[in-house]
Amino acid sequence: MYYLFTMITDLSPYLIYELGCLKGQHVRFCRYSYKNSEYNEGFALVGDNNSFFIRIKNQRVADKHDVYFLVVKAFHNSEIGYDFKFDTISEGKLTNLNILKYTNKGMIIRNKVIQNITTECGLLAEFSDDSRFMVYPKQQLFTDSACSGDLDEILDEISANRLEVSRSAEMDINLLLSVQ
C-alpha cells in the first residue's frame, strides 16, 4: 500500500509510469478469466509488450463501511501463459488514462469519527475513436468491479460516486525519480 498525502493507493509511481507507456499504442480493452473461471476476475489493458490486469477490491471496515481500492497488476506479455483468456471489448489507440479517486467521509470506527479517507478506486481509459471505458466499484454477486463504455452511464457513476481524477498515467521520468 502506498500513501500519497492523505490518500491510500495500491498503485506505485512506477506502475503509473508503465501505464503511461501505453498511451499512443494500439491497446485492447478486455475482460479476462483465469483457467476455467467465468469473466468475474476483472478487466485488462493489453498492449504490444505489457498487459495490465485491473480490478476493484473492497475492504469492509468496522462491519459497515465499504472502502474500495483500484488494483492493477502489470505483466510482460511473455510472462502470461495460456491459462488466461481474453475477450476483447474494444481496441484502438489509447489517448488518455486517468486514475479516479473517491473520498469516504465521516466513517465512524470504534465510536470515533475518522478523518476523510481517500482511495484510488477507478480507471477511465479513452481511445482515439472517442470511445471510453471506465472500471469502477460496484458490488455484484461475484465481483466488486464494474465496467461501462456508455458515456451517460459513466457520467452518472462519476456523479453518484463523487469520483474525481486523482492522477493521469504519464510516461514522466519525474514519477520514477519520486520513488528514490
Backbone phi, then psi, for 17, in 5-degree steps? -60, -45
Residue 4 has pLDDT above 50, yes or no: no
Q: Enter the pTM of the model.
A: 0.85
Residue of 15, 30, 32, 7 lying closest to 143 (CA atoms): 32
**pLDDT > 90 in the chain, percent:** 48
pLDDT-derived band of residue 2, with 50, 70 and 90 as boundaries?
Answer: very low
55's grid cell: 480490478
Q: How many domains does the chain have?
A: 1
Read off the pLDDT of residues 8-60 as tens digits, 9 standing for 90 and up: 788 888 899 899 999 999 999 999 888 877 766 789 999 999 999 999 988 88
**pLDDT score, position 93:** 97
Number of H helices, E strands in the chain: 3, 13
Confidence of residue 3 (pLDDT cuts 50, 70, 90): very low
CA distance 12 to 122: 15
Higher pLDDT, 39 or 118: 118
What is d(CA 105, CA 114) in angstroms, rounded to the nearest whole number? 8
Among residues of the chain, what percentage have pLDDT more than 70?
Answer: 89
pLDDT digits (tens, 9 = 90+) for 139-149: 766 677 888 99
**Residue type for position 30:** C
Its domain, for residue 141, covers 2-177
Q: Across residues 82-108, what is the average pLDDT?
A: 89
Residues 18/94, Cβ–Cβ less than 8 Å: no
